Amino acid sequence: MRLPTATHEPTPVTFIALRFDVDATGADAWSDSLLDAGALSVEAVDPRAGTADEAAIFDEHEADAPQWWPISRLTALLRQGDDADAVIRRAAGMIEQAVPAYDVYDVHDRDWVTATQAQFEPIRIADDLWIVPSWCEPPRPDACIVTLDPGVAFGTGSHPTTRLCLAWLREHVTPGCSVLDYGCGSGILAITAAKLGATRTVGIDIDPQAVDAAAGNARRNGVDSTFIPVDALPAGTFDIVVANILANPLRLLAPALAARTATGGCIVLSGILEAQTPEVMAAYREAFAIEAWRVAEGWVLLAGARRSQR
């Protein structure tokens, strides 16, 4: 009789992390050289995040806008067995820089799916409106539940700008209204509007992956929202136009968004830092009676009614 073969759990693969700080002028070059020297990936973060010195950096495609934090912390992921000292020396040589002070530590492999899921919990927008990942139980089954998992498109409900938009929709969407979500990302805003009673909800985005992801999320939530590329939007206006983007594109889009908002309808703008509020409001004042509606963690939501068109 053959005895059963003993089985053992495989030893988790261990990676090596190489971490150091660089100033903004050298971050791009260091990141590229680390990859060329054999790194699997390079992560950049603000080492001052969570402190009074945290720097907000957002790519708004302005030529003079900073693209890196004043000091950026780079972490290069290496294979088990790689020589971290040799990698950083090689990277430094490629860009003719001195080797900086750096740390090396092990990164143990793990169940990354479970670990990622553990970071996301149901998000309360109001007592009767929750955003819930598919692997979580709804805290209130009798509430309006939007099922949404993190994916390739922006918008899980965790960011203050998204929560501001959702809170506004919860208070202002009325049965039978129409809603345009400009820059739909995951589709969370259009889907929520549909669940709150909007009859016609349309989301548009320049990213084909976002359009596909949003359509899948709509099917998962059992709503009849439409998601299409920006250039496929047919003529017509909407009772509510919501755009959660960034300040610079919002300024540029003011004429286009005004043209899509019905007279007396509402414009809802988010993705705006408090310091950027005056310039965005100025771009919309001609077409809208617009004001700051609410502020959350330094982000502002602007909302207003469309003036009669002359």
C-beta atoms surrounding 219 within 10 Å: 11
C-beta atoms surrounding 235 within 10 Å: 6
Per-residue pLDDT reduced to its tens digit, 101-149: 999 998 877 655 555 556 668 889 999 999 998 888 888 889 999 998 8
SS3 content of the chain, % helix, strand, coil (to 5): 30, 30, 40
Mean pLDDT of 56-66: 48
Q: Given pLDDT bands bounded at 50, 70 and 90, which one contains residue 153? A: low
Domain range list for the chain: 14-47+62-109, 154-306
- Least Cα distance to 214 among 151, 168, 124 occurs for 151
pTM higher than the cut 0.85: no
Q: Given pLDDT bands bounded at 50, 70 and 90, which one contains residue 30? A: very high
Three-class SS of residue 57? coil
C-beta atoms surrounding 138 within 10 Å: 14
Domains 14-47+62-109 and 154-306 share a fold: no
Burial class (CB in 10 A: 0-12, 13-18, 19+), 137: exposed
- The reported pLDDT for the residue numbered 119 is 60
CATH code of the region 14-47+62-109: 3.30.70.1380
- The reported pLDDT for the residue numbered 63 is 44
291 close to 303: Cβ distance less than 8 angstroms: yes
- The reported pLDDT for the residue numbered 90 is 95
Please name the residue that has the structure tokens 């206006």.
Answer: 237
pLDDT > 70: percent of the chain = 84
Q: Is the pLDDT of residue 37 over 90?
A: yes
**What gap in Å lies between CA 197 and CA 174, rounded to an integer?**
6
Q: Is the pLDDT of residue 69 over 70?
A: yes
**What gap in Å lies between CA 148 and CA 129, rounded to an integer?**
13
How far CA 269 is from CA of 7, 28, 32, 135, 169, in Å, comes to: 58, 32, 36, 31, 12
Mean pLDDT of 16-33: 91
Sequence-ordered list of residues with C-beta below 8 angstroms from that of 197, at least 6 positions apart, any chain? 173, 174, 175, 176, 177
Per-residue pLDDT reduced to its tens digit, 156-206: 778 899 999 999 999 999 999 999 999 999 999 999 999 999 999 999 999
- Domain 154-306 belongs in CATH node 3.20.20.140: no
Per-residue pLDDT reduced to its tens digit, 232-269: 999 999 999 999 999 999 999 999 999 999 999 999 99
Parallel, antiparallel, or unpaired: how do β-strands 200-205 and 226-229 relate? parallel
- The reported pLDDT for the residue numbered 48 is 76
Q: Is the pLDDT of residue 4 over 50?
A: no
- Least Cα distance to 126 among 196, 219, 201 occurs for 196
Q: Is the pLDDT of residue 67 over 60?
A: yes
- The reported pLDDT for the residue numbered 310 is 63
